[in-house]
Structure 1
Amino acid sequence: MTQASERAVAALEGGRQQDAVAIAQDAAAAGDAECLALLARWRLIGSPLPRDLPEARRLLRAATLAGSEDAAMMEAALTANGTGAPQDWSGATAILREAAERYGGPAAEDAALLSRMDLDDEGYPLALPEPESLGRDYQVKRWRQFLTPEECAHLAMSVRDLLAPSIVADPRTGRSIPHPIRTSSAAVVGPTRESLPLQAIMRRLAAATGTRVEQGEPLNVLHYAPGQEYREHMDTLPHVTNQRTVTALIYLNTGYVGGETRFPAQNLSVAGGGGDMVAFANTLPDGSPDPRSRHAGVPVRQGVKWAATRWIRAKPFDVWNHG
């Protein structure tokens, strides 16, 4: 951080919001890349400045041009996922390539991984593996080797700093709360942290499930230590008009014992290999919860299990204004 950005953060932490904004704005006007990026973050989160996504994008562009590596990575992510402006995959990949050439490091790693994905001009896959149908009267589909080992490692390793105890939706209020039904750790990957390889994976997931990428909630990356589990539950939410209609679950590793996904109504237990994906419907044709979708992640008995979950809504999901 620059001296000015440190002063701005210190002022904010000390409760002096107006001073913090003034310090950051003065330094940004003089071309301070870190203060430009700081103002962009404040515009994204809506504090201490009002949320303004287009203005955040403008500030990120200026910060990137002024030499902020973090701003460049964030700008690439938001350009691809359409925050504050329409989605622009080619523009996002250009920003990533420039950052890779200038800084190396994570940008170069992301660019190299992206180059090994077989994608069209919008970041969607040119081909998909064929799924197999599991279950009886209720279909659970499984795609073998949906992700490569390198892609699985990218999902798991890029979010380690975000891991926190998992939460669930309170069935009475819909609010997110911790609960002993779910004992894993989870990382919710928000739009500013959606690397381009991750976004290509989410586009692949949308193509496989016949949905739009905009319908998905932020990806959840899950870590289960021995003894941890997610007891029987349904993924539908109470008191919402835009329901979770589909769940997609990607298994990111092998080498653990237990941890199967169990569907009691189907007498079905799925043990996914590293890179496999399963997807299943959560709702009936009338939009009501489908009791056959009730499932559990049984306890891991040995080793560590990594997985990623994406809940897909009936309509596009606005991560910035979902209440």
Structure 2
Amino acid sequence: MHRNPIDLALSLASAGKTEQACALLADAGAQGSAEAWMQLAVWYLIGAPVPRDLDRARTCLAKAVAIGHVDGALMEIALLANGNGGQTAPDWPRALRALDIAAQNDPVAAAQRALLANMALRPDGTPLATPVGEILHDAPRLQRFPRLLTPEECAHLATTAQPLLEPSFVLDPRSGRPMPHPIRTSDGGAIGPTREDLVVRAINLRIAAATGTDVQNGEPLTVLRYAPGQQYRRHLDTIAGAANQRMATLILYLNQGFAGGETSFPAIGVTVQPRAGDAILFETLLPDGSPDPQLVHSGEPVRAGAKWIATRWIRQAPVDPWTLAAG
């Protein structure tokens, strides 16, 4: 019995025979396998089991799309828009044209196009109007942006992140094994470059406008879901020893109708009740660049229902979404 070339390539790669695996996939792709080109593209994107090569990844991805890989087409559109696929800069107009073509036959692309049609955007995908926040606390500054997202945009973020959600774990420094996160008991997932569709990209550009920061300084948008009893205990969002520190946090509330789950800032006496579509923003550093201890905060335990939020941690300088690390 002949083995599927992708299964055989994966087996070869796991045995350390990477060159043979890549050659097998390229040969299968040349014979018309879109899935083989897609597998190679994914390997070059994530940098395993081969070194990361975004230009090669884009070449393989384009070949998969040319054969008819629908998911590959959406991935290619995302990389066009965010500029994380090896080209020199984001190209929103080209990505939008590609989405228009895909929307003619793909209901997922059509749904994204319909959402974008309801957004007031400039030709580069940035918002026509800069969102304006209201001050909840002056020093340190805590702002709320009422209705930053529409209900449809909130639902899109939750739906996009749903397949990515995993329990929050950290590595036990003694055993090296995963263990439950000591302060966060939610399920979470980050929307990386290949899943940052044009709707997500437009939302990230809106966040950049609201915060007055460059979109490239934001970490991938992370969606968190809290079930009853789950919480995010008191913490600071800064990362000890990071060379490129988190300078601000924006939290988007994606739903309501649950009990509990307030965002509390005990040092400044402010508690924020989540409202679907609202966002809160706070800077995390003092003028000297050290963490601001007054901005310790918590996500209170959810008592009933499910709480969904999306968080954008913003760094002092651009981040590489493929290799983002604490340092």
Give the TM-score normalised by the residue count of structure 2.
0.91
Equivalent in 84, 92, 96 of residue 95 of structure 2 = 92
Partner in structure 2 of residue 35 of structure 1? 36
The root-mean-square deviation of aligned C-alpha atoms, in Å, is 2.1
Q: Which residue of 281, 284, 293 corresponds with 2:283?
A: 281
Provide the rounded CA distance (Å) in 2 between the counterparts of 1:100 and 1:302. Answer: 39
Q: Which residue of 1 aligns with 2:51?
A: 50
Higher alpha-carbon deviation: 110-119 or 219-228 = 110-119
State the match for 2:237 in structure 1.
Answer: 235
**Residue identity (%):** 50
Q: Give 1:7 deviation, angstroms.
A: 4.0
Q: Kindly provide the CA deviation profile for residues 50-80 of structure 1, in whole angstroms up to 9, marking residues without a partner as x.
A: 2101111122122212211111111111111
Aligned to 1:114: 116
> Post-superposition shift, 1:10?
4.8
What is the one-letter code of the residue matched to 1:72? A
CA distance in 1, matches of 2:203, 2:171: 26
Residue number in structure 2 paired with 1:19 = 20
Report what 1:311 is aligned to. 313
| Deviation of the 1:318 alpha carbon | 1.0
The one-letter amino acid of 2:153's match is E
User: CA distance change for structure 1 residues 94 and 3 in 2, over 3 Å: closer, same or farther?
Assistant: farther
Ranges in structure 2 where 5+ consecutive residues have no aligned partner:
none
Whether 1:72 and 2:73 are equivalent positions in the alignment is: yes
- 2: distance between equivalents of 1:310 and 1:43? 26
Write the distance in 2 (CA, Å) between the matches of 1:64 and 1:89.
19
Aligned residue in 2 for 1:8:
9
CA distance in 1, matches of 2:155, 2:170: 25
* TM-score in terms of structure 1 length: 0.92
How many residue pairs get aligned? The number is 317
Whole-angstrom distance in 2 between the partners of 1:285 and 1:169: 33
Deviation at 1:18, TM superposition (A): 3.7
Q: What does the per-residue CA deviation read over 1:124-144, in whole Å, with 9 as the maximum and x for residues that have no partner?
A: 111244210002422111010
Comparing 89-98 and 239-248, the one that deviates more: 89-98
More displaced 10-residue stretch of structure 1: 109-118 or 275-284: 109-118
Report what 2:295 is aligned to: 293
Q: Is the 8 A contact 1:129 1:144 kept in 2?
A: no
Q: Which stretches of structure 1, 4 residues or longer, exceed 4 Å deviation after superposition? A: 13-16, 167-171
Q: Distance in 1 between matches of 2:116 and 2:198?
A: 7
Q: Partner residue of 1:125?
A: 127
- Residue 61 of structure 1 corresponds to 62
Structure 1: 5+ residue stretches without partners: none
Matched, 1:138 2:133: no
